Chains A and B, each alone.
Chain A
Amino acid sequence: MFTLPVISGTVYIYDVEVIKYLREKYNIGGVLSGILPQYPQQNKFGGLPLKLSPEEALYLLETNEFEFFDDTETHLDEYKEKVDEDKPDTKNGQSSTTSNNKVELAVLSKIPKRSSAVKLKEPVNSRYAVYKYLVQKGYFVLPGLRFGCHYMAYPGDIMRYHSHYNVLGLDYDEGIDLLTMVSGGRLATSVKKCWVIGAKNPETEETEAFSIEWSGFG
């Protein structure tokens, strides 16, 4: 059983071993959201912590191999402390003793307060079914903003493959404008991908998906 911290409803992972495990066992890549201290001006490659999307967090929760605890306060405390440190010290004589106390307090506050009722951000219901469908088929799933969709699905580790699908997660009866289909299908085909729409059938509880590509004529 792994225990992961939740900060303001979002799971952040600070342990490289856990990140490796998620990637190898669950095809979960997440998004590295920290900067690299050596190269603070670039954002191509991120550093720790790894941020999980609401879908990824819920998926891990459902495996029963992970539990979450709320770590928001620790981070708030540390933030306040840092802000306080920056304030000019008016009482010069007492500075050494107060900083000692501060260190002690900081250590104490780092022991997380565990509770069972952790609030996680919830994914959009219809999308989650499609997310799960993709992950269970062995795809790596990344956010789809860059290609105007909900998810990008990779056939294997994201460092080794290009994505195959630009995916929209919909409700079963949700109508998609044909102009959206044409632009989605055309964009995906021109970057050697397929445009996919998926939804959970409320009668059978099965997720159904369709891949759309430009025909090459007309």
Chain B
Amino acid sequence: MDTVIENLVHQQLWTDCKIYNEDANLIRGTPPRKLHPEDAQISSEYVLVSHMRDSVSVRGYTKTFQSVHDASRVVHAVIAEDSTIAYYIVYKSLNPPRRN
């Protein structure tokens, strides 16, 4: 989690990054720009942290969304052995792809 916070703050230039829920591997922070072109404004986001050797399941995501209450999306950070980090956005139910 600390690795992801450092990456968010120093490489992706996020602000106010804090551990939100240690047990659920969740961070909360604010990105420097809108995450989705159709967002009205920049808002604070939840970041789920997992390691490449972990796996995801529908139950797992459901649990994650239960711990972020009202949020409709979560950023999923995946750390690999060599410390590269990939960021994906996970939406609850079906979310149309972005138009570009």
A interface residues (Cβ-Cβ under 8 A, vs B): 137, 153, 155, 164-165, 170, 172-179, 181-182, 185, 188-189, 192-194, 196-199, 201, 208-218
Contact = CB atoms under 8 A, between A and B. Distances in A.
A210 B58 contact: yes
A182 B78 contact: yes
B94 A211 contact: yes
Contact of A201 (B53, B62, B88): B62
Contacts, number: 111
Given A194-B96, A213-B98, A218 B87 contact: yes
A177 B86 contact: no
B75 A215 contact: yes
Given A210-B61, A218-B12, A178 B56 contact: yes
A209 B62 CA distance: 9
Contact of A212 (B11, B62, B88): B88
15 contacts: A137-B94, A165-B97, A170-B58, A178-B53, A178-B54, A182-B78, A208-B93, A209-B93, A209-B94, A210-B58, A212-B76, A212-B91, A215-B89, A218-B85, A218-B87
Q: Among A172, A189, A192, A210, which residue has the most Cβ atoms of chain B within 10 A?
A: A210
A210 to B, nearest CB: 5
B41 interface: no
Contact of B94 (A174, A177, A196): A196
Contact of A177 (B55, B77, B92, B97): B55
A68 B99 CA distance: 42
A172 B58 contact: yes
Contacts of B50: 178
A176 B60 CA distance: 10
B42 interface: no
B55 A172 contact: no
Contacts of B89: 212-215
Contact of B56 (A176, A211, A213): A176
A158 B91 CA distance: 24
List 3 tightest A-B contacts by C-beta distance, closest first. Answer: A175-B55, A199-B58, A215-B87
A175 B57 contact: yes
A196 B97 CA distance: 11
Contact of A215 (B52, B55, B62, B88): B88
Contact of A210 (B35, B52, B53, B91): B91
B57 A176 contact: yes
A183 to B, nearest CB: 11
A134 to B, nearest CB: 8
B91 to A, nearest CB: 4
